[in-house]
Amino acid sequence: MNVLVANLGSTSFKYRLYALDGGSARLLARGGFERVTDYGAVIDQAMGELAAAGHKQIDAVGFKTVLGGDITGCLFADESVEKALLDTADLAPAHNPPYAAGIRTFRERLPAVPRVALFETAFYQWVAPAAHRYAVPEAWYKAGIRRYGFHGASHKFMAERSAELLGREDIAAAARNLYLHGPAKNTGAPLRVISCHLGGSSSVTAIRDGVAVATSMGLSPQSGLPQNNRVGDLDSAALPCAMRRLGLTVEEAERQLAKESGLLGLSGVGNDLRDIKAAADRGDARARLAIDALVYSIRHYIGAFWVQLGGCDALVFTAGISENNPWLREAVCENLAALGLELDPAANAAAAPETDLAGKTSRTKILVIPANEELVVARETARLVAARRTNPK
């Protein structure tokens, strides 16, 4: 089955075409466009590029959709999904409208080809109420004010791959089939993983037996760790307070929280960690503060999830910041020997993908696993389409 994965940003369109056969997946083609103003035009161009390269067969199109409120999981992207994306666009304004437009365009261009939406919130649909409820009035909860969690495709891949690397094929298989069959009962020893997706947008997720039990992100991608230019966690009283004291409108306050906060707001340098680290190394105090605040927040969630899981068998680092910065992993893992986690400095410096970076006496594995969200979308799309073919009802 050939699955085209469409990744749509506010001004970008990227794609990957996979050939899936049973449990294997092969990347056939990839491409992308920046500064997009007309999704129909670039989608037509992408289809032309694929056809010119001999890739004319597309059996399904998968989308890494972000937030649909009560609509979540891995499901066929019909007009109800488009509506759900637009209805919740106030919480994900940079993501939801482009995905709604992309799904609609593919429906028009390839009406006979199945379209599948894998929501970023899907991995968290089994999180217990105590972990996803806010302490707000019941009417707020019924209006959709709750923790949803994001980066689900990335953390799901970490659940699968970490279990494989730790020799727990039973857990890996359960994680791979999670969206088709739901959580599987584990009859063996528990597998407790803390996954750190650290990139332009970052989150930490606690995973037990291949299933998410808690996450740092909440109602929107604004929450959790300090993001590149998004605020992260913030006291609910801060917004009205800033509006009163600075004379801000709601719209301007929201814009500043989404565009001028996070690492950018703290550092005053920019939102790229490479630039911030260079400035910190030159003695820039605000840049050092931004790094320290990021590390503090990561460690805060690791500690909280360590307690919730009752221990940790593997601490996993993934995404660009995690994968490319040994100094950040060292800072996150500092002085955790009392918890049974010790980093091997030489292994960390080498950072060979999918190797254990833990010291010999560490009770917890430390893994760097390259992110592969598109592969997860392709696999889940293929599974859903194959399931419908087997059982059309």
> Is 209 annotated in some ligand binding site?
no
Q: Which two tokens stand for residue 113?
A: 């080809």
Question: What's the CA gap between 67 and 81, in Å, rounded?
Answer: 10
> Is 277 annotated in some ligand binding site?
no
Burial code of 67-98, b = ≥16 C-beta within 10 A, e = fewer? bbbebbbbbebeeebbebbebbbebbeebbeb
Q: What is the DSSP string of 257-279?
A: HHHS-HHHHHHSS-S-HHHHHHH
> Is 56 annotated in some ligand binding site?
no
Q: Which two tokens stand for residue 33?
A: 């466009």
Dump strand ranges (E) for the chain. Answer: 2-8, 13-21, 24-33, 60-63, 74-76, 115-118, 192-197, 203-208, 211-215, 314-318, 365-368
End-to-end CA separation in angstroms for the chain: 21
Q: Is 202 helix (H, G, I), strand (E, B) or coil?
A: coil
| Cβ atoms 17, 55 nearer than 8 A | yes
Q: Which of 45, 215, 255 has its CA nearest to residue 126?
A: 215
> Is 273 annotated in some ligand binding site?
yes
The backbone torsions φ and ψ at residue 82, rounded to the nearest 5 degrees and listed phi first, read -55, -45
Question: What's the CA gap between 121 and 114, in Å, rounded?
Answer: 21
**Tokens 């369109």, located at residue:** 13
**CA-atom Rg of the chain in angstroms:** 21
Q: Which two tokens stand for residue 233?
A: 């966690």
| Cβ atoms 24, 1 nearer than 8 A | no
Binding residues for ATP: 14, 272-274
Binding residues for Mg(2+): 7, 373
Binding residues: 7, 14, 272-274, 373
